[in-house]
Amino acid sequence: MWRGGSNTRTCKRRFFSSPTRSRHHRPPYMLHSRGSQHLKAMAEVDHLAAERATARFDVEEMKVAWAGSRHAVHVADRMARLVASDPVFRKDNRTMLSRKELFKDTLRKAAHAWKRIVELRLTEEEADLLRQYVDQPGYVDLHWGMFVPAIKGQGTEEQQHKWLPLAYKFQIIGCYAQTELGHGSNVQGLETTATFDPKTDEFVIHSPTLTSSKWWPGGLGKASTHAVVYARLITEGKDYGIHGFIVQLRSLEDHSPLPGVTLGDIGGKFGSGAYNSMDNGVLRFDHVRIPRDQMLMRLSQVTREGKYVHSNVPKQLLYGTMVYVRQSIVADASKALSRAVCIAVRYSAVRKQFGSQDGGPETQVLNYKTQQSRLFPLLASAYAFRFVGDWLNWLYTDVTQKLEAKDFSTLQEAHACTAGLKAVTTSVTADAIEECRKLCGGHGYLNSSGLPELFAVYVPACTYEGDNVVLLLQLASGKQPVGTMAYMGKVQYLMQCKSAVSSAEDWLNPDAIQEAFEARALRMAVNCAQNISQAASQEEAAGFYERSPDLLEAAVAHIQLIIVTKFIEKVHQEIPGHGVKEQLQALCNVYALYILHKHLGDFLATGCITPRQGALANEQLGKLYAQVRPNAVALVDAFNYTDHYLGSVLGRYDGDVYPALYEEAWKDPLNETVVPEGYHEYLRPLIKQQQLKLSRL
Ligand SMILES: CCCCCCCCCCCCCCCCCCCCCCC/C=C/C(=O)SCCNC(=O)CCNC(=O)[C@H](O)C(C)(C)COP(=O)(O)OP(=O)(O)OC[C@H]1O[C@@H](n2cnc3c(N)ncnc32)[C@H](O)[C@@H]1OP(=O)(O)O
Ligand SMILES: Cc1cc2nc3c(=O)[nH]c(=O)nc-3n(C[C@H](O)[C@H](O)[C@H](O)COP(=O)(O)OP(=O)(O)OC[C@H]3O[C@@H](n4cnc5c(N)ncnc54)[C@H](O)[C@@H]3O)c2cc1C
């Protein structure tokens, strides 16, 4: 019932039918969209071969651990190759396109992708992977990611029967129109109204103020024909709060806005290329009428007479689509982070600076301990987010099944985990992409490094689907010691326990890590609770407000505990492949001890560990970095990304960075002419004027 969308990892539904399937068996380095001569040259060199030779584990098996199964590796491989080998999906020129060109390019790619999906009879799992590898935000994401799930989760069976087949075949295109100019985070504060008119059996959708204009919905600006619109339901003179309605916006004949509908794009966004491929839109309604049965009526209904009837379910199920997308955003965080880390690791292995005063070889920057201490925690975080994402997907599927059976007991836990993990993983990933850019020095600032666009396209994830601060504050409510909160049941022990760590190696014991993280999270939560009750002499809300910065930190500590716990659990499982488990163990320790080192203040202030134990953790971290170093390139190879998907001259599989950087520069439109446009208007007159002045002296 709450479910927004299906679990795409297991779904085998096919889109239409077709006779053929494509087969590609080329290795990743053959997948550049360049001429065959270049491909030949590239196949002959592998500047990272020495790095790959030092790996102490089976990379192919690590690919399986990363992807989740052998099947997942094969499907991902096939879809990545399909996209990389198709010229329509070219993206190396994206940052040079104007907004209009970029938008048209997005429409073209989406239409072509759909054509291929139908021709090749791709399953939903394959289609979603294809969408990811096309790697260009567009209306399709909101259509499949929010419009369809909203109807599935909030529509009655009858409504699903009517609308989903149209949406599945793209006979209509939908978006998710919730946020308004004046309100985004505060959903209950939305102003758009849906007033029931019993005379005509219709709802009248209206935007009463400027601030009630829908603002931001992706796909709304130019592409969508329909929207799920969230509006205040008013019937029999009473306001029943926010509900969802399916509203047609544009003609299915000529795409013109329907009467009473004003809509357009909200304008250019941060960065070149990036999220500018998306038509985030503005929408106003002037008393637009829709039939009563276009209210999504699974959770509550309005009868023909105008009576409001609420089913006996929690009203928060209205937010189910957001929960669905939040959990998919957690899975995406590991993808974005691993892309950035892959680029930075490979380039750091290629790039050399200093180290030789006599003309001998310089030092690979990856060998600098500072580079390692900045980069390896990010590598470990990519793996950590991947595994916690898998767990969250399981939790989401589980709660969805329970909801179908009218068991709402895990709803709050699922909301808290998705909200918290979405907030922490996206914040860390956005910062990490920027850190990877710096780790690549000056070349990281070039668009051809792929990092500026990756950052620009990723950073709104900290805001959309719930501002990260607002979401973290959601964790402060509902502290029953169940599920991931179960450790709170050990309050007496965790409030007074002392870490037994007495050597750096002791920090390799997962129990020592687990206990320190549990004690820190619990003590921070208890401190907050005490401070709130002290601050709130009159009412709890005042104390909550007063101590909200501390609550935020306590929420982060709780989420970091979940991530560490899920990583430890993963490593405890049977993991096949030579050396794979050992590498994951090392990365798990890197992740945990890095967090401990970074938040040492929390651990010390709450008395969970002593300053000496903190120093030992840092000592162990240094040893772990040395252990990761020879495996670093192979650990990013295990992400199995094609050069097309990475979109970075610095992150190339073959490490042949310099010719590619050089070649790329010449493609810039500024280099189309030797003498730039504007020379005769501005430069020449200026130079001549100065020359004249000088000659007069
Ligand atoms: C290219 C070719 C392609 C071809 C075709 C391919 C075919 C593909 C096929 C595959 C398909 C798969 C596709 C998947 C794609 C996915 C892609 C996604 C892309 C993502 C793009 C993102 C776009 C962005 C969208 C948006 O941003 S939408 C708007 C989001 N808005 C928000 O998030 C608003 C945030 N605010 C809130 O959520 C709420 O207001 C609030 C939670 C902050 C507060 O709510 P409220 O005021 O109502 O409540 P309280 O704080 O008082 O809480 C009351 C109690 O309710 C609990 N609560 C709150 N929320 C929830 C919840 N969600 N669930 C359960 N419980 C909840 C609180 O905890 C309180 O509980 P208590 O009373 O016990 O304390
Ligand atoms: C790229 C992009 C795509 C989007 N796509 C869609 C879409 O498809 N459909 C849709 O409906 N919406 C969409 N949105 C809107 C998005 O969901 C909202 O922007 C988001 O929920 C944040 O809300 P806001 O803009 O109102 O921020 P605000 O709430 O105004 O945030 C401003 C600041 O106030 C702080 N703040 C707010 N409330 C509190 C509080 N209670 N306590 C402490 N601090 C607080 C925030 O932390 C932030 O620092 C999109 C947004 C972006 C950027």
Give the tens place of pLDDT for each residue, 170-213.
999 999 999 999 999 999 999 999 999 999 999 999 999 999 99
- State the total domains in the chain: 1
Residue with tokens 């668009």: 447
Q: Please give the backbone phi and psi of residue 341, each rounded to the nearest 5 degrees, phi first.
A: -65, -40
Mutate to test the pocket of ligand 1, among 224, 329, 415, 540 (most ligand atoms within 8 A of CB): 415
* Distance, CA of 643 to CA of 479 (rounded, Å): 45
* pLDDT tens figures, 111-131: 999 999 999 999 999 999 999
Q: Is the pLDDT of residue 45 over 90?
A: no
Question: CB–CB of 94/457 below 8 Å?
Answer: no
Q: Which amino acid makes up residue 96? A: M
Check if 465 is active-site: yes
**Residue 542 domain-assigned (yes or no):** no
Mutate to test the pocket of ligand 1, among 11, 112, 465 (most ligand atoms within 8 A of CB): 465
- At a CB cut-off of 8 Å and minimum separation 6, what does 559 contact? 420, 421, 423, 424, 472, 475
Mean pLDDT (whole number) for 214-237: 98
In percent, the amount of the chain with pLDDT more than 90 equals 86
pLDDT of residue 534: 81
Instruction: Report DSSP state, residue 171.
Output: S
In percent, the amount of the chain with pLDDT more than 70 equals 92
**Residue 606 domain-assigned (yes or no):** no
Cα 132 to averaged position of ligand 2 atoms, centre (Å): 24
**Residue 224 domain-assigned (yes or no):** yes
* Distance, CA of 332 to CA of 462 (rounded, Å): 12
Q: Which of 125, 453, 465, 515 is catalytic?
A: 465
Element (H, E) at 291: strand 288-291
Q: In sequence order, what are the beta bridge partners of 195?
A: 204, 234
**Residue 175 domain-assigned (yes or no):** yes
Alpha helical stretches, state H, 30-156? 36-44, 49-53, 59-67, 70-84, 99-119, 124-134, 139-142, 148-154
* Distance, CA of 130 to CA of 113 (rounded, Å): 8
Cα 213 to averaged position of ligand 2 atoms, centre (Å): 15
Q: How far is CA 673 from the centre of its chain?
A: 39
Q: How far is CA 697 from the centre of its chain?
A: 63
> What confidence tier does 540 reach under pLDDT thresholds 50, 70, 90?
confident
**Residue 266 domain-assigned (yes or no):** yes
* Distance, CA of 322 to CA of 150 (rounded, Å): 9
Q: Is 426 close to ligand 2, i.e. is its CB under 6 Å away?
A: no
Ligand with an atom nearest the CA of residue 189 = 1
| Average confidence score pLDDT of the chain | 92
Q: Is the pLDDT of residue 538 over 70?
A: no
pLDDT of residue 665: 96
Question: CB–CB of 523/497 below 8 Å?
Answer: no
314: left (phi over 0), alpha (psi -120 to 50) or beta: beta
**Residue 367 domain-assigned (yes or no):** no
**Residue 588 domain-assigned (yes or no):** no
* Distance, CA of 423 to CA of 326 (rounded, Å): 9
Q: Is the pLDDT of residue 225 over 90?
A: yes
Element (H, E) at 419: helix 411-439
Report the CATH number that the domain containing residue 169 is assigned in CATH. Answer: 2.40.110.10
First to last CA, the chain: 85
Beta strands in 165-285 (DSSP E): 174-177, 193-197, 202-206, 214-215, 226-235, 238-248, 261-265, 281-285
Least confident of 203-217, 335-349, 350-364: 350-364
* Distance, CA of 433 to CA of 461 (rounded, Å): 13
Q: Is the pLDDT of residue 325 over 60?
A: yes
pLDDT of residue 473: 95
Structural domain of residue 218, as residue ranges? 152-312
Mean pLDDT (whole number) for 469-487: 83
Cα 418 to averaged position of ligand 1 atoms, centre (Å): 9
Q: Whose CA is nearest to atom 5 of ligand 2?
A: 217
Q: At what angle do helices 611-628 and 369-404 cross, to 10 degrees?
A: 100
pLDDT of residue 11: 44
Return the SS3 of 543: helix
Mean pLDDT (whole number) for 521-532: 93
* pLDDT tens figures, 610-651: 999 999 999 999 999 999 999 999 999 999 999 999 999 999
* pLDDT tens figures, 266-317: 999 999 999 999 999 999 999 999 999 999 999 999 999 999 999 989 999 9
- Would you state the structure tokens that stand for residue 415, as one six-digit string? 């909301």
- Would you state the structure tokens that stand for residue 94, as one six-digit string? 């994206």
pLDDT of residue 355: 86
Question: CB–CB of 580/57 below 8 Å?
Answer: yes
Ligand with an atom nearest the CA of residue 7 = 1
Q: Whose CA is nearest to atom 13 of ligand 1?
A: 145
Q: Is 463 close to ligand 2, i.e. is its CB under 6 Å away?
A: yes
Least confident of 67-81, 232-246, 400-414: 400-414
Annotated binding site for FAD: 179, 218
| Burial class of 503 by CB neighbour count within 10 A (0 to 12, 13 to 18, 19+) | exposed
**Residue 235 domain-assigned (yes or no):** yes
> What confidence tier does 30 reach under pLDDT thresholds 50, 70, 90?
very low
Cα 659 to averaged position of ligand 2 atoms, centre (Å): 43
